[in-house]
Homo-oligomer: A and B are copies of this chain.
């Protein structure tokens, strides 16, 4: 039988499903070990729920698996416990973790990059770019290792030797989807693969839903890259909002069904529109340090002109020069006004005078 708080929590993660409020209540009231004993002797409230699985408990086997996988089991209070998780209404009993990275450290400056499994090439390349850009800005990219956006986000992070964390709906020893076996091995080798369900557990629909809340809680914010109107990523976004995390969404063509969820999030004010890693970093980062450069078009010398100077400048021909009288008619200004403007424009290098009259100076090479 499990001994001590850690082993008892491992057992609780086996006999209850994620986000079981009753199990949490028992553990909180009695401690994991005593609560487990109370289930075994039938004295715990609602113990019947857990008895069918208690029979399958084999803590020795679990410890062997953990050791064989070179995994570890984190419980609340551990140095490595990612504290964001405690913001959840029903936090996990423990976290099963593989990989060299300190999980708490990795999550301190982190972003979830998530989205549709049935992503478009546009979505996947955008997810990869954003993930890579975030890693270059020293963010950890957290995702769910699914097909589509999730996979592209992990790959984008790995491509720049960035730190990435995969949170799975099934056991950490079980690559899911199977086609991501190689991807998950690379994440295990460099970052962390995490689950709140024990090894051997299949990724069921329910666990996928509950996994999403973990991703939201572990990160400073969530970026949804592509999502249909009914998408798991939108549930991640909702969780993130509930937890007062930042939520951002990437726009796409209005004709794309997998951008429709992103556009709805933005329209409802549930997500900020972001177009690149700079903008995500600004939203997620520490105030000031991560401000995105403001997007401007090319700055032009004529931007700072007064209204009347602008009129004259706009009327100045690019090629053949023209006279002041003609400019006056063209601009509906007095010749005196035109001349004054031309003088000021000339000082700024925006008007040139030759024998024939006035024109714009030739563009200098950039």
Contacts and interface: CB of A to CB of B under 8 A. Distances in A.
Interface stretch (A75-83, A186-194, A247-255): A247-255
Of A49, A125, A255, A325, most B-chain CB atoms within 10 Å: A49
A325 B49 CA distance: 11
Interface string A239-268: 000000000001111110001100110110
Contacts of A51: 334
Contact of A229 (B50, B53, B279, B296): B296
Interface in A27-57: 46, 48-53, 56
A266 B266 CA distance: 9
Given A52-B325, A230-B297, A315 B255 contact: no
A241 B82 CA distance: 45
A206 B273 CA distance: 33
Contact of A332 (B15, B272, B274): B15
Contact of A329 (B53, B122, B275): B53
A267 B292 CA distance: 12
B49 A332 contact: yes
Given A49-B334, A260-B275, A296-B229, A253 B255 contact: no
A329 B117 CA distance: 29
Contacts of A304: none
Contact of A126 (B53, B255, B272, B296): B255
B315 A206 contact: yes
A32 B231 CA distance: 63
B328 A52 contact: yes
A73 to B, nearest CB: 19
Interface string A311-338: 1001100000000010011111111110
Contacts of A260: 275, 295
A275 B254 contact: yes
Contacts of A295: 229, 260, 264
Size class of the A contact interface (CB-based, 8 Å)? 35 or more
A272 B263 CA distance: 11
A110 B274 CA distance: 30
A17 interface: yes
A99 interface: no
A205 B317 CA distance: 11
Nearest to A252: B253
Contacts of A125: 255
Nearest to A15: B332
Contact of A314 (B56, B204, B253): B204
Contacts of A205: 314
A20 interface: yes
A92 interface: no
Contacts of A325: 52
A49 B337 contact: yes
Interface of A: 15-17, 20, 46, 48-53, 56, 122, 125-126, 204-206, 228-231, 250-255, 259-260, 263-264, 266-267, 272-276, 279, 295-298, 310-311, 314-315, 325, 328-337
Given A122-B255, A251-B251, A267-B273, 11 more contacts: A20-B332, A48-B336, A50-B334, A52-B334, A53-B329, A53-B332, A126-B255, A206-B310, A260-B275, A267-B279, A273-B273
